[in-house]
């Protein structure tokens, strides 16, 4: 079973590499897309993430393959208003081997999340911006009830341009997340320290995390490297079966990573990330959000490949 799951992830990575090679290795096609790209409003991103075997504190081990798909549209409506909408579908393929504390998890299958989000930015003046990012998604095991699996809420923030090279902002996120309401602060930054060095947020912020922080260095128009850290929290509604009938699986961790990016103008880019999840914790709750069992896991290495196309 483990080998089959690993092969599935490897197959998707090979497919992403093939797509990237196709886009980057045919100059005339890239040039044609680049010309069209001057009017681009859409972005498609596909990711494959391999989270390798790691030990659970109470015994046993597990690994995860994650497949992430996102299609977004963004448009400048007027001189003061930008708006966008995005659709995401994520598949989380867990495999547990002899877990001592979380035996139910050996029966997990097809954990997925899918939903819609919007982004509205209003420019008050040359220095101030207001940003609102509401979203709704279902996060569930394949046979779990859809209505009981909804996660919804939003990010609310204000940004201030300190100088031509520095934009900072702050705000908060609030989400109803399967029998719990979560609040967290948001800090946005986009600081062009030099022509090549930048400090910024790798994520837009949402129900799984705040925005994170990343330091990047650009060598030229094609190549960039970076390192960063963040926080991730997943919650999934489980199906009506076993000791955790209609219950909830929660995973929390702090990812740290390094990144290499290859760009083809404004047409496409490929990101290769590698790092580890630290301070990881898994928890099973009943249908009302009361803890049934939990376990922590060791640092979990991962590698991720993302192909993004703008059109």
Q: What stretches of the chain show up as alpha helix (H) in DSSP?
A: 2-25, 27-36
**Closest C-alpha among 305, 223, 228 to residue 261:** 223
Q: Which residues contact 288 (CB under 8 A, 6 or more apart)?
A: 179
Go through the chain and tell me how many residues it has: 311
For domain 2-310, give its CATH number from 2.40.160.40, 1.10.630.10, 3.40.50.300, 3.40.228.10.
2.40.160.40
Q: Write down the domain spans for the chain.
A: 2-310
Q: What is the distance in angstroms between the CA of the first residue and the CA of the last residue of the chain? A: 38
Cα(289)–Cα(45) distance, integer angstroms: 33
Q: pLDDT per residue over 182-203, tens digit each? A: 988 888 899 999 999 999 998 7
pTM for the whole structure: 0.88
Token pair 């001057």 is found at: 38
Token pair for 138: 């279902």
Q: pLDDT per residue over 199-239, tens digit each? A: 999 876 666 666 689 999 999 988 999 999 999 999 999 99
pLDDT of residue 121 exceeding 60, the answer is yes
Task: Identify the pLDDT of residue 217.
Answer: 98
Q: pLDDT per residue over 258-267, tens digit each? A: 999 998 877 8
Task: Identify the pLDDT of residue 116.
Answer: 96
Q: pLDDT per residue over 169-180, tens digit each? A: 999 999 999 999
Token pair for 133: 């990012």
Mode of pairing for the β-strands spanning 150-163 and 128-141: antiparallel
Task: Identify the pLDDT of residue 105.
Answer: 80
Cα(52)–Cα(245) distance, integer angstroms: 28
How many whole angstroms from its chain centre is CA 61?
24
């Amino acid at each position: 079973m483990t080998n089959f799951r690993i092969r599935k992830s490897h197959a998707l990575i090979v497919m992403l590499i093939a797509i990237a090679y196709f886009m980057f290795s045919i100059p005339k096609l890239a040039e044609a897309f680049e010309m069209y790209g001057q009017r681009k409003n859409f972005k498609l991103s596909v990711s494959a993430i391999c989270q390798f075997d790691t030990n659970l504190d109470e015994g046993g081990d597990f690994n995860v393959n994650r497949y992430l798909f996102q299609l977004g549209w963004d448009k400048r409506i007027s001189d003061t208003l930008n708006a966008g909408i995005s659709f995401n579908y994520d598949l989380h393929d867990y495999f547990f081997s002899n877990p001592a504390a979380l035996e139910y998890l050996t029966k997990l299958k097809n954990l997925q999340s899918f939903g819609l989000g919007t982004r509205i930015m209003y420019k008050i003046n040359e220095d101030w911006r207001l940003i609102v990012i509401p979203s709704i998604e279902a996060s569930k095991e394949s046979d779990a009830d859809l209505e009981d699996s909804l996660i919804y809420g939003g990010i609310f923030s204000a940004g201030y341009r300190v100088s031509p090279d520095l934009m900072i902002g702050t705000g908060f996120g609030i989400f109803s997340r399967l029998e719990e309401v979560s609040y967290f602060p948001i800090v946005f930054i986009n600081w062009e320290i030099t022509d090549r060095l930048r400090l910024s947020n790798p994520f837009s912020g949402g129900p799984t995390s705040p925005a994170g922080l990343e330091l990047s260095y650009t060598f030229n128009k094609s190549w960039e490297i970076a390192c960063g850290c963040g926080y991730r929290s997943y919650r999934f509604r489980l199906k009506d079966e076993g000791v955790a009938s209609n219950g909830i699986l929660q995973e929390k961790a702090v990812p740290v990573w390094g990144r290499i990016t290859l760009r083809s103008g404004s047409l496409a880019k490929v990101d290769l990330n590698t790092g580890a999840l630290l301070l990881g914790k898994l928890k099973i709750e009943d249908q009302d959000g009361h803890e049934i069992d939990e376990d922590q896991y060791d640092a979990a290495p991962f590698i991720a490949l993302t192909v993004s196309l703008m059109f």
